[in-house]
Structures are given as structure tokens and as C-alpha cells.
Structure 1
Amino acid sequence: MLDLGQVRCFVAAATELNFRRAAALLNMTQPPLSRQIHLLEENLGVKLFERIGRTVKLTTEGHVFLADASRLLNLSEQAESAVRRASKGKTGRVRIGFTGAAGYELIPEVLVAARRELPDIDVVLLELISVAQIEAFAANAIDLGFLRPLPSRQKLEFQLVDREPLIVALPAGHALCGHEEIALRQLDQQPFIMHSPTHGKYFYERIMGMLAAEEVNPHFTQYIDQTPTILSLVRAGLGVGILPASAQRFHYDNVEFRLIANHSVQAEMSMAWRADQDNPAVTAFRLMAADHFATKAQS
């Protein structure tokens, strides 16, 4: 088996064709350099150099070996660099779950930052509702999640990355469209398109808590998982709904939005990861994303 140290000595000497200069390049003296090359020649069973007086030149075998020896050293250096980058989380794969709300602006921002700071990390995206992301963590199908914070039996860590107000979505022409802000009590007995208590658990519990606190009892006509479908039913005039402010980005015709008067409840978006994960690439991506959000919050 070839000794990389011996190969390195040979390449330096073959490049310089002067053992003294080659030794200086390698920060060693000439006798050890000559010894290493002699051992290499014995190992290969060929002469690599011809020594005529003070002149040194490559043999035919030396010329042949030089090309492969140079490639071998380059591959060795690339391998060392790759493993060091991997140990620092600079390379690898990160599987990211995200909700539709996160996909509109948050995820593109993070990916742009990752392409700039972690260009060798391969990112795999999976659009999943928050409940499905919790299940995906349990199945080890994602490494990071951007989701509404939900309780979990797993050991998940959560970091708040964004929050937004809740607003009322109304079909155009609805009587409440005449108000700049809507008090929750004005929704009492109104036909209401509600989030699903299972797949839309985060918003279901938040909105139900708000309504119960004001003793408001809307007439729930449908329970729906996804924001776009809720907006479609509101547009059709089948009821009103309470949604995160980011729902306005869907630009549905014949749907109007109003702020909720005297209410400060907000929808939170968190970045989540398993507490026991030990993938350096995941850690590097998470820290990069956290720094991005911290910088954004200060601007």
C-alpha cells in the first residue's frame, strides 16, 4: 500500500527536480526526503529518478507515476476537506417540513440564506400541515419543521420564528364589511367556516378559546383543514372565518378581511427539531436559520 507521505515527497522532488528545493518546500531536510523516495522505489520495485552527478531527472516509470501520484494527493486533500466540512455541518442533507403559510415567504427567505451560507447542504422540502409534521418527526421523515407549535409526546425543541395577528375573512357584500374592525361578539350566530379540530388543531383551539372567552357562539357550518379551502367557502358566501393575516396573500376575489377589535391573540410560527438529533448538517442549518430570523427581527 502506498504511503501518502512518501508520495508527497516524490511529487515535490519530481516537480522541482532538485532534492534540496523539494525538501525546503516540505519543511524538511534533504536526507529524510531522499530516504522516503528510496523507500517508495523499493515498495514499487522501480527506479523513479535518474541521478547523474548533481542532475536529477525522472525515469520513464517516474513520468508515468507522477500523473497518478498527483491525482492521488489531490483526492486525499479533497477527502480531508470534505470530512472536515461534514463534521462542521457544511455538507449533508436536511429534510424540512413546512406549512403552506411558511411556504409563502419564510421558506424562500431561509433557502436564499442557506444557498449563500451553506451551499453544499442538500435541502429536501416537504409541505405538510402542522399535525402531519409532528407525525413526520415521529417517523424520522423530517429533520426540521416550520409549523404552528403543537404539544407532542416526542422530545421536540421549538423556537419562535414569526407571529401574526388573526383576522376575520368575510364574503364581499356581507353586512359586517361595513365595519373597519369587527368585535368577536358580532360573530355570534353567524355561519362560520371553522378549522378542523384534528388536522387544524392549532387554530381550532386558539379560535375556540377566543370565542369562549367572549361567550360567542357562531353557527359552525363546516370544519376544514386548509386555509385556501376555508377562503373558497367564504368566497362562496357559506360563512365567515378567522384566519392568520398571511391568508390575505392568497388574493381571493370577493373575500374581504377585517381586523379583530380589542384582541391581541396571534398565530405563531415555530422552527422545530428533535432534541436528540445529532446530524451536524441539521444543526448548522438550524443555527443559520435562527441567526437569519434574529437579524430580521432587529431590522
Structure 2
Amino acid sequence: MLDLGQVRCFVAAATELNFRRAAALLNMTQPPLSRQIHLLEESLGVLLFERIGRTVKLTPEGRVFLADATRLLNLSEQAESTVRRASKGKTGRVRIGFTGAAGYELIPELLVAAKHDLPDIDVVLLEMISVAQIEAFEANAIDLGFLRPLPSRQKVEFLLVDREPMIVALPAGHALCAYERLELAQLHEQAFIMHSPTHGKYFYDRILGMFAAGEVKPNFTQYIDQTPTILSLVRAGLGVSILPASSQRFHYDNVEFREIAGNTVQAEMSMAWRADQDNPAVTAFRHMAADYFANRQH
């Protein structure tokens, strides 16, 4: 196996074609340099230099070896640099789960910041609902998640990165469209498109809590997983719904939105990660993201 120290001595001597100058370049004296090159020649079983008096020149074997030896040293230096950067979280791969709501604005803005601050980290994006992200954490299939905070069997930590109000979605022409702002009680016995208690658990629980606090009992007609489908059913006139304000970004025709008077319930978006993760790239990305969102809110 090649000794990198010997290879380094050879490349210096082959470049300078003068052992004294090569030794000075490596901060050593000439005898140890000559000894290292001699050991390398013995290891390879070939002569690398022709020594003519005080001058030297490369043998044909030496000229062939110089190209590979130079590449070998460059790769060695690159490997050292890469592993140091990896230990500091400057390089590596981060798998990020995100909801549709996060993908509209939050994730693109974050990736622009990451491209500037952590350009050598490879980001893999996986769009999935919040419940699926919790399951992905338990399967170690994602490193970071941007989701509605939900309980997990795995120890998952959360950092709040955004919040938004909950609003009412109405089909155009509905009687409640006559009001600029709605009282929650006005939804009593209304046909209501509700989030699924499984895949839409975060909103299901929050909306049920709102209704229970106000003693409001809508007529739940459908239980749906995804916001776009809920909006489609609202547009068709099959009921009203309560959604996060960001749902307005879907720009559905014939759907109108109204604020809820006195409502303090908000939809939260959190960044999540496994408490036991030890990937330096994930840690670096998480800290960068936390700083980004802290500044974004100011």
C-alpha cells in the first residue's frame, strides 16, 4: 500500500527536479527526502528518477506515476476537507417532509436561504400530510418535517415556525356570504365538510374543540383528508368548512371566505425532528432554519 508521505516527497521532487529545493518546499532536509523516495521506489519495484551528477530527471515510469500520484494527493486533500466539513454539518443529505401548506411559500423560501448558507447539503423533499410525517419519523424515513404538530410514539421535538387564523369557506351565493364576519354560532346545523379524524386529525381536533366551546353542532356531511378536496366540495355547494387562512391561496372559483368573530384558535406550522438524531448535516440545517424563521417573524 502506498505511503502518502512518500508520494508527497516524490511529487515535490518530480515537480522541482531538484531534491534540495523539494526538501525545502516540504520543510525537511534532503537526506530524509531521498530516503522516502528510495523507499517508494523499493515498494513499487521501479526507478522513478535518473540521477545524473547533481541533476535528476524522471524515468518513463516516473512520468507515468506522476500523474496518478498528483491525483492521489488531490483526492486525499479533498477527502480530508470533505470529512471535516461533514463533521461540522457543512455537507451531507437532509430528507425533509412537508405539507402542501408549507410547500406553497415556506419551503421554497427556506431552500433559497439554505442554498446560500449550506450550499453543499443535498436536500431531498418529500411532500406528505402531517400524520404521514409522524409515521415517517417513526420509520426514520425523514430527518426534518414541516407539519401541524401531532403526538408521536417516537420522541419528536417541535419548533413553531408559523401560525395563521382559521376561517370559514362558503360556496358563492350561500346565505352566510351576506356577512362580512361570521359568528361561530351561525354554523349551527349547517351542512359541514369536516376534516378526517385520521389523516386530518390536527384540524379535526381543533375544529371540534371550537364547536364544543361554543356549543355549536353543525351537520357533518363528509369527512375529507385534503384541503383541495374540501374546497372542491364547498364549491359544489355541498357544505361549508373551516380551513386555515392559507387555503385561500388555492384560488378556487365560487368559494368565498369569512373570518370568525372573536376566534383565537390558530393553525400552527412546526418544524419537527427526532430527538435522537445525530446527523451533523441535519443539525446544521435545523439551526439554520431556526435562525431563518426567527428573523422572518421580525
Q: Secondary structure at the match of 2:297?
A: helix
Q: Letter of the aligned partner of 2:175 in structure 1?
A: A
Query: 2:281 is matched with which residue?
Result: 281
Q: Does 1:116 align with 2:116?
A: yes
1:1-299 to structure 2, matched below 5 A, reads 1-298=1-298
Q: Secondary structure at the match of 2:211?
A: helix
Alignment gaps of 5+ in structure 1:
none
Displacement of 1:147 in angstroms is 0.6
Q: Secondary structure at the match of 1:287?
A: helix
- Cα distance in 2 between the residues matched to 1:215 and 1:44: 87
Displacement of 1:135 in angstroms is 1.2
Displacement of 1:186 in angstroms is 1.4
Q: Calculate the TM-score normalised by the size of structure 2.
A: 0.95
Question: Deviations 1:228-270 (Å, cap 9, x if unpaired)?
Answer: 1111111111111110000000000000111111112110001
Question: Deviations 1:148-207 (Å, cap 9, x if unpaired)?
Answer: 001112111111111111111111111221222111111111111111111111111111
Displacement of 1:101 in angstroms is 0.6
Query: Bigger CA drift: 133-142 or 118-127?
Result: 118-127
Runs of 4+ displaced beyond 3 Å? none
Q: Secondary structure at the match of 2:232?
A: helix
- Cα distance in 2 between the residues matched to 1:7 and 1:153: 54
Alignment gaps of 5+ in structure 2:
none
- Cα distance in 1 between the residues matched to 2:173 and 2:64: 84
- Cα distance in 2 between the residues matched to 1:140 and 1:180: 46
Say if 2:163 and 2:266, in contact at 8 Å, map to a contact too: yes
Say if 2:41 and 2:48, in contact at 8 Å, map to a contact too: yes
Q: Secondary structure at the match of 1:158?
A: strand
Q: Letter of the aligned partner of 2:79 in structure 1?
A: A
What percentage of residue pairs aligned between the two structures are identical?
Answer: 86
Query: Bigger CA drift: 167-176 or 56-65?
Result: 56-65
Say if 2:168 and 2:257, in contact at 8 Å, map to a contact too: yes
- Cα distance in 1 between the residues matched to 2:12 and 2:111: 43
- Cα distance in 1 between the residues matched to 2:177 and 2:161: 32
Query: Bigger CA drift: 48-57 or 92-101?
Result: 48-57
Question: Deviations 1:5-51 (Å, cap 9, x if unpaired)?
Answer: 01101101110112222122212222221221122122222222222
Displacement of 1:222 in angstroms is 1.0
Q: Secondary structure at the match of 1:46?
A: coil
Displacement of 1:125 in angstroms is 1.9
Displacement of 1:278 in angstroms is 1.3
Question: Deviations 1:200-229 (Å, cap 9, x if unpaired)?
Answer: 111111111111111111111111111111
Question: Deviations 1:48-103 (Å, cap 9, x if unpaired)?
Answer: 22222322222222212111111111121122222222222233222211111111
Q: Secondary structure at the match of 1:267?
A: strand
- Cα distance in 2 between the residues matched to 1:135 and 1:67: 51
- Cα distance in 2 between the residues matched to 1:61 and 1:175: 91
Query: Bigger CA drift: 107-116 or 156-165?
Result: 107-116
Q: Secondary structure at the match of 1:264?
A: coil
RMSD in angstroms over aligned alpha carbons? 1.4
